[in-house]
Amino acid sequence: MPSVTGRKRRTFGNTWWGEAWVEALEKRAKLDPNRLPRGRTYARKGVVGELAVGTGEVTARVQGSRAVPYRVTIHMRAFTEEQWESLLGMVGSRLGHVAALLDGELPGELAEDARAAGADLLPGPGDLRPKCSCPDSANPCKHVAAVYYLVADEVDADPFVLFLLRGRPREAVLAELRSRRAPASESGKRMRAPAAPGVDPKRAYTRRIAALPPRLAVPGTVGPPAVLDLDPPHRTGWSSDTFAELAADAAARAWELLVMGPGREPGLSFEEDLARRAAMGDPDLVTELAEAAGVPVRDLAVWAQAWGEAGRGGMAVVREVWRPGQAPLARARTDLAESGLPGAPKTWRNRITQGGLQLRYGRDERWYRFVRDGEGWRVDGPPSTRPTDVIYPP
């Protein structure tokens, strides 16, 4: 039921990591469950001010019943050197985590991985050690509990706050990850790769252009796609298997283009590539692709069937009606009339129909065979430049 004032209730934890912080407070940190609701109410009143997050601690002032605000200091247990080594070693072994962190992002999957490595970024039992200048001896008092909830705002704004509370700021964490990616020296110490020497602009512009290296040979087969280091976030609805399928399909497509050589195959339109993908799978894949692309399932099923039988030309004559010249149509009508099929050939635009057989002339100057399928028509076999080849298929 909406409130009397109509105002939306203040929430805490509006990002994945902020929500994870609140959940850890309420379920894993073993805090007094009777005190947290009072702190949440206090936080909603806007009585917390001067909140600051430093290395391993949070400070704030909370206005209580007295004129002078209470001073709140919360220390969070810092990681040991062994825990930092375990955490950074785990991150360094997962390319997806490293790439995300170096881009300034904190992937949600890192939470469970860090916890499994013995370096939980979120608060657990005994990790939070608060102090408040109020006379209440409860742990936590409502002033401390209010600050706990408002830390979620800080985490929303910058999830690297979790690293800071465990003892290291963002810059130190990222510097360590970069150093781990640098080549090692003979003594085993990590070193940064030397910077490439500069080139004088004048010399660069006057330098003779070297010949291009010879083109690499086209591989005989398509290699398997790389295995992702971690699954995409669950909320995206994607999976590693889906990306592996797309990567394998892209690799196969690239290989085909290499084998055919440049200029032999123009790029596919969105609908053509959708039909090509659908033609490779079962009816479930057709439904899945149609829903994802916003295309009617029936349309995509027809396109996929045409593509499977006759490629992009088959799909084109399914979707397009046009008016060709009379010469190719006259030849096809004569061939159909001599086929012995019942009735007489009927021509409409690029289509000639006689009985249960229909020939369609494509803009690629090839004929496509269609047979009746219920109330419609479906492509039946590959095309040919000669009508007789599709009237009497081998």
In this structure, is residue 91 part of a structural domain? yes
Q: Is the pLDDT reported for residue 56 higher than 60? A: yes
Amino acid at 192: R
Q: Which residues of 23-55 are buried (b: 16+ CB within 10 A; e: fewer)?
A: ebbeeebebeeebbebbbebbeeebbeebebee
> How far is it, in rounded angstroms, from Cα 127 to Cα 78?
8
In this structure, is residue 33 part of a structural domain? yes
Ramachandran angles phi, psi of 206, nearest 5°: -95, -5
Q: Are residues 143 and 252 in the same domain?
A: no
In this structure, is residue 165 part of a structural domain? yes
Q: How confident is the model at residue 2 (pLDDT cuts 50, 70, 90)?
A: very low
Distances (CA, A) of 100 to 105, 163, 237, 243, 374: 5, 15, 19, 18, 53
State pLDDT tens for residues 334-371.
998 888 888 899 999 999 999 899 999 999 999 999 99
Q: Are residues 369 and 251 in the same domain?
A: no
Q: Are 128 and 148 in contact (CB under 8 A)?
A: yes
What secondary structure letter does DSSP report for 105?
A: -
Comparing C-alpha atoms, which of 260, 256, 14, 42 is closest to residue 136? 42
Sheet holding 48-54, edge to edge: 48-54, 57-62, 70-76, 128-132
Q: How confident is the model at residue 166 (pLDDT cuts 50, 70, 90)?
A: very high
Domain housing 87: 16-176
What secondary structure letter does DSSP report for 147?
A: H
Q: pLDDT value at position 4?
A: 41
Looking at per-residue pLDDT, the higher value among 209 and 251 belongs to 251
Structural domains of the chain, count:
4
SS3 assignment for 241-266: HHHHHHHHHHHHHHHHHHHHCCCCCC
The dihedral sign for the CA sequence 11, 17, 21, 23: positive
Q: Are residues 29 and 157 in the same domain?
A: yes
In the predicted model, what is the mean pLDDT of the chain? 85
Strands of the chain (E only): list them. 48-54, 57-62, 70-76, 128-132, 346-348, 351-354, 357-361, 367-373, 376-379
Q: Are residues 94 and 71 in the same domain?
A: yes
Q: Are residues 119 and 55 in the same domain?
A: yes
Q: Are residues 341 and 371 in the same domain?
A: yes
Q: pLDDT value at position 248?
A: 84
In this structure, is residue 296 part of a structural domain? yes
Q: Which of 202-206, 233-237, 284-288, 291-295 has the weakest average pLDDT?
A: 233-237
In this structure, is residue 366 part of a structural domain? yes
Q: Is the pLDDT reported for residue 6 higher than 50? A: no
- 31's torsion region: left (phi>0), alpha (psi -120 to 50) or beta? beta
Distances (CA, A) of 252 to 239, 245, 257, 329: 20, 11, 9, 38
Residues in the chain: 394
State pLDDT tens for residues 111-157.
888 899 999 999 989 899 999 999 888 888 989 999 999 999 998 88
Q: Are residues 258 and 277 in the same domain?
A: no
In this structure, is residue 333 part of a structural domain? yes
Q: Are residues 46 and 126 in the same domain?
A: yes
Q: Are residues 21 and 167 in the same domain?
A: yes
Q: Are residues 30 and 163 in the same domain?
A: yes
> How far is it, in rounded angstroms, from Cα 371 to Cα 122?
65
Q: Are residues 372 and 286 in the same domain?
A: no
Q: pLDDT value at position 261?
A: 64
Comparing C-alpha atoms, which of 118, 114, 146, 116 is closest to residue 130? 146
User: Do strands 351-354 and 376-379 pair parallel, antiparallel, or not at all (unpaired)?
Assistant: unpaired
Q: Is the pLDDT reported for residue 50 higher than 50? A: yes
Q: Are residues 29 and 125 in the same domain?
A: yes
State pLDDT tens for residues 255-299.
877 777 655 556 789 999 999 999 987 888 899 899 989 999 999
Distances (CA, A) of 322 to 179, 305, 316, 362: 64, 21, 11, 9
* Residue where the block lists tokens 């209730």: 9
Q: What are 358's strand-pairing partners?
A: 353, 370
As given in the structure block, the two tokens for residue 239 are 């999976």
Strands of 117-161 (E only): list them. 128-132
In this structure, is residue 98 part of a structural domain? yes
In this structure, is residue 378 part of a structural domain? yes
